Structure formats: structure tokens, C-alpha cells
Amino acid sequence: MRFSSTLLLALPALALAEEQVPLGDKVKGWFNKAKDAVSSAASAVPSSPIGAASGKIAESVQHHLTADNWKSVLTVDPTASAPTTKDWLVYITGGNVTCFGFCGNVTEAWNKSVPALAATPKGPSFAVLDCEAEPILCNSWSVGPPSIYYFQIPKPLADQSAPAPTARYIPLNRTKSAPEVAKDITGLVVNKEYENTPPYEGVWHPFSGFIQQYGLAIPFGYVFWGFSKMPSWLPMILISFLSRSFMGRRMPQGGAAQPGGAAPAPAPAR
């Protein structure tokens, strides 16, 4: 009975204390509770089984390129009879640093496209180059994500003669939705839309470019990677320092008159 009386006397005090809480704090508390409930519900929802299955299939049929293995991966089946050509579809991707976090839709589209393309008769082989993990290789090829490199690699003949591999560099639109990008990637193989892109034959060609033939690709890759890590203010300071040094060398020393200039005026007589 005493407990009940004490409880009844405490209720008005609790109500008064509740009324003293500002309305903004009440709303904030309700909002935090709702946000926690939504977060818990979202974390409890499993990821799409279709997307997960597509990603697993894509991983099982593609090769990950590195600076050490790409030459041994991008080759022709040794059991195939010459003359023959092997097509390779290389997806160039990245992360927050190299792709600014905008490669998510394109990667999703790639994972959904690869299983369908892998089932295509005489379809290409697949590889992935992650510029976040392999910045030196990406810089040695002078490529950036998201993009596709479509290679057609011929098998050498008995005398080891073979034309240079054909390379087509195809940038992907990272502002499109995943289904739209998947349609573009699928069209490259199914409709041979890669032929709409002219072959690249410049100095950055991964197989036959000038810097690749003379073994300069990896050193150039390190140089450009180093420049990408350089703070934006450092080149301006270096340019300012060099310009001041250059101009200082051209200035006359000790105030001497320059050739062809007027002679100094004589001192006034005392």
C-alpha cells in the first residue's frame, strides 16, 4: 500500500519533468529512434541474390591483371592452331582515388554482363585491371577508369611472325545507370560495336607502343604515378623558384651599365 501511494505521488513529478523537456529535444530523440530502427531494418535485409550470383560468376571467369602477370595472361590459347586470334575484354576500374567513387554502377553492369557474354559462342576472354590496386600498370598504359580495352591478339606463326595485337580503348559513361551500361558492354561483343572505335596505334599501345618496345612503360608508369601523388601547390612553387632563378641570372650584376646603354652622367663640379 505504501508502494502504491509513493508511485501515485511520483507521477505528477514525472509529468512535470517531462513537460520541462524542450520540444526540439523531443523531436530529435524521436528522429534518432526512427533512424536507428530504419538502419536496423536495412541491415537485416539480405543483398540481391541475382546481383551476388552475377558477381560470383564474373569473378570465376575473369583474370585480375597486375604489372607482373598481364603479359602472360593476355595471350592466345596455346592449343589453338595458327593463324588464329583471341579476343580479350579488359575492364578498367578503380576506387575512391582513381575513379572518385563513381565506378559502382559500371562495376555492377560489368558483373551482370560477363555471365551472359561468357556463354556466347566464340566469345572473348575477360580480365579486370583495378587502377586502385595497380596504379603503375594503369599509368604505363595511360588509361583511367571506367573504361574497356578490347584486344585482338593473333597467335604467332611457326616462324614466330605475327601482326601486332589490335587494341581499342573505349571509355564507359559512369553517369548512366547500371542497366544502360550493361547494354553498352553487351553490345560491344554481341553486335560487334567495338568495331566503331578505331584501333589505337600510339606510343601508349600496351603491346607495340614506342615506350613498351624500349622497356620504358613501367618507368614512365612510376613517373606519372609520382606526379599524381604530388600536392597541387608544389608545381607552382617549383615554377616560381625556377622563374626567379632564371630572371636573376639575366639581371646585370653590380648595377653595371648594359652594352649600348647611355653613359652615366658626370658628377657636378664642386
pLDDT in tens, 99-138: 988 999 999 999 999 999 998 888 899 999 999 999 999 9
pLDDT > 70 in the chain, percent: 66
pLDDT higher than threshold 60 for residue 224:
yes
Q: In this predicted structure, what is the pLDDT of residue 60?
A: 73
Higher pLDDT, 158 or 75: 75
Give rounded-to-5 percent helix, strand, coil for the chain: 50, 10, 40
E strands, 125-246, in order: 125-130, 147-154, 166-171
Q: In this predicted structure, what is the pLDDT of residue 43?
A: 38
Q: In this predicted structure, what is the pLDDT of residue 28?
A: 45
Cα–Cα–Cα angle for 116, 126, 77, rounded to 5 degrees: 115
pLDDT digits (tens, 9 = 90+) for 27-72: 444 434 444 443 343 333 334 555 566 677 778 789 999 999 999 9
Ordered structural domains, the chain, with CATH: 49-228 (3.40.30.10)
Q: In this predicted structure, what is the pLDDT of residue 55?
A: 72
pLDDT digits (tens, 9 = 90+) for 10-33: 444 444 444 444 444 444 444 344
Enumerate helices (H) and strands (E) in the chain, giving the number of each.
10, 5
Higher pLDDT, 255 or 116: 116
